[in-house]
């Protein structure tokens, strides 16, 4: 009898330890449901086991804010380096230590100088760098798109024989102004899709008459349009600083003929995210919901690899000494 009572007390004690208060359990359940239902990587997680792990970690929480650390366990299980979790003054992202080691001081120094579009001629080669561009309002998208487009137009007026498009400082943001600004390089047609975890392709990205479209809708209004140069020879530069929309830009550019990618592997975030607000707008998840797919609706890797690997020295302040730029110029000048 005493043994049975002792076992009952042990079970009750363990159960009590692993279960937060009902109101907090509901908060945790809502958060985990969002991740399970929407994350691209949901299938790799044992959700019942994860729930118990989060409950246990949050057992002594007395407020929703105190469940924050417990819920970060879900992000660790998902392994989503593109994801973020915000609640009040707290925020969480998985650290990609290997990527951070690849991002040298030259990259960090250039990022610290702010987003800039560099355009100039290297004798008969036109050079343009496309930086990180954030913002979701249409007027901002239009502004950025024209910023890039005008830079391309000024270079085109100098009749270059070939082009370098440098994406090594582009950690992402909004791809719409990037692609709209580079529309003159693309012929009509689909360049890619997004693909959910079930393998369903959606939101085709395409070009028509030099304009960038998603789901057959023009994404930016470009003024002062010029004639396209869809057959121009183009070298695209990538590296550890190329992420997210920067990577997708590289993938879309690689669909062109007479195009070659130089540099090093990218950050591994060539996918798409979506935001989810919960807890009466007090908590926010940004999570990866879909991969990138090519125009044949084949799922692509999160990483973009160059066709020509070049050991980077990232001489952004003196591109005449930059190894990746020099390799690109050598190829561009070959007949």
Query: 3-state secondary structure string, 7-44?
Result: HHHHHHHHHHHHCCCHHHHHHHHHHHHHHHHHCCCHHH
The pLDDT of residue 20 is: 84
Burial 111-131 (b: 16+ CB within 10 A, else e): eeeebebebeebeebbbbbbb
The pLDDT of residue 249 is: 98
d(C-alpha 106, C-alpha 117), whole Å: 17
d(C-alpha 49, C-alpha 28), whole Å: 14
Chunked into runs of 10 residues, the chain (335 residues) has average pLDDT values of 46 54 94 98 97 95 96 97 96 95 93 92 97 95 97 98 98 97 98 97 97 98 95 98 98 97 97 95 96 98 97 92 97 92
Q: Do residues 168 and 261 lie in contact, with contact meaning Cβ atoms separated by under 8 Å? A: no
Domains in the chain: ranges and CATH: 8-79 (no CATH), 98-270+289-332 (3.90.226.10)
Q: Do residues 306 and 264 lie in contact, with contact meaning Cβ atoms separated by under 8 Å? A: yes
Entry pTM? 0.92
d(C-alpha 2, C-alpha 59), whole Å: 28
185 burial level (CB within 10 Å; 0-12, 13-18, 19+): buried
Longest Cα–Cα distance in the chain: 94
- Per DSSP bridges, beta strands 90-92 and 119-122 are unpaired
Handedness of CA 43, 48, 49, 51 (dihedral sign): positive
- Per DSSP bridges, beta strands 283-293 and 84-87 are antiparallel
d(C-alpha 20, C-alpha 23), whole Å: 8
Summarize pLDDT for 220-229 with one digit per residue, the tens: 999 999 999 9
d(C-alpha 195, C-alpha 187), whole Å: 23
Q: Do residues 261 and 165 lie in contact, with contact meaning Cβ atoms separated by under 8 Å? A: no
d(C-alpha 249, C-alpha 47), whole Å: 34
d(C-alpha 136, C-alpha 144), whole Å: 11
Between the CA atoms of 156, 158, 162 and 167, what dihedral angle is there, to the nearest 10 degrees?
-60
H helical segments located in 215-309: 245-254
Q: Do residues 40 and 21 lie in contact, with contact meaning Cβ atoms separated by under 8 Å? A: no
Cα–Cα–Cα angle for 315, 321, 327, nearest 5°? 100
d(C-alpha 302, C-alpha 291), whole Å: 7
d(C-alpha 200, C-alpha 119), whole Å: 39
The pLDDT of residue 223 is: 94
How many Cα atoms occupy the beta-carbon half-sphere of 265 within 13 Å? Answer: 9
CB atoms within 10 A of CB 92: 16
The pLDDT of residue 18 is: 56
């Amino acid at each position: 009898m005493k043994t049975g009572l002792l076992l009952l007390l042990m079970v009750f004690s363990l159960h009590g330890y692993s279960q937060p208060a009902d109101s907090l359990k509901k908060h945790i359940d809502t958060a985990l449901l969002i991740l399970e239902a929407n994350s691209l990587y949901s299938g790799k997680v044992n959700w019942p086991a994860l729930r118990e792990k989060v409950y246990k970690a949050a057992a002594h929480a007395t407020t929703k804010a105190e469940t924050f650390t417990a819920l970060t366990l879900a992000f660790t299980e998902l392994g989503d380096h593109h994801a973020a979790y915000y609640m009040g003054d707290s925020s969480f992202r998985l650290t990609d230590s290997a990527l951070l080691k690849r991002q040298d001081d030259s990259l960090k120094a250039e990022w610290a100088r702010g987003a800039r579009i560099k355009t100039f001629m290297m004798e008969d080669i036109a050079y343009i760098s496309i930086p990180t561009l954030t913002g979701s309002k249409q007027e901002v998208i239009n502004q950025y798109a024209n910023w890039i487009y005008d830079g391309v137009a000024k270079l085109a007026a100098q009749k270059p024989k070939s082009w370098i498009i440098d994406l090594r400082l582009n950690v992402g943001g909004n791809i719409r102004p990037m692609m709209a600004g580079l529309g003159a390089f693309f012929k009509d047609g689909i360049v890619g899709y997004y693909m959910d975890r079930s393998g369903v392709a959606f939101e085709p990205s395409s070009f028509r008459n030099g304009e960038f479209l998603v789901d057959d809708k023009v994404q930016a209004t470009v003024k002062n349009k010029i004639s396209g140069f869809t057959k121009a020879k183009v070298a695209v530069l990538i590296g550890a600083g190329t992420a997210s929309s920067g990577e997708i830009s590289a993938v879309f550019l690689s669909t062109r003929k007479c195009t070659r990618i130089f540099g090093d592997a990218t950050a591994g975030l060539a996918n798409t995210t979506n935001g989810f607000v919960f807890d009466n707008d007090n908590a926010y998840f940004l999570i990866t919901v879909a991969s990138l797919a090519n125009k044949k609706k084949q799922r692509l890797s999160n990483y973009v690899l160059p066709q020509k690997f070049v050991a980077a020295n990232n001489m952004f302040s003196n591109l005449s000494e930059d190894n990746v730029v020099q390799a690109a110029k050598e190829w561009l000048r070959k007949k």
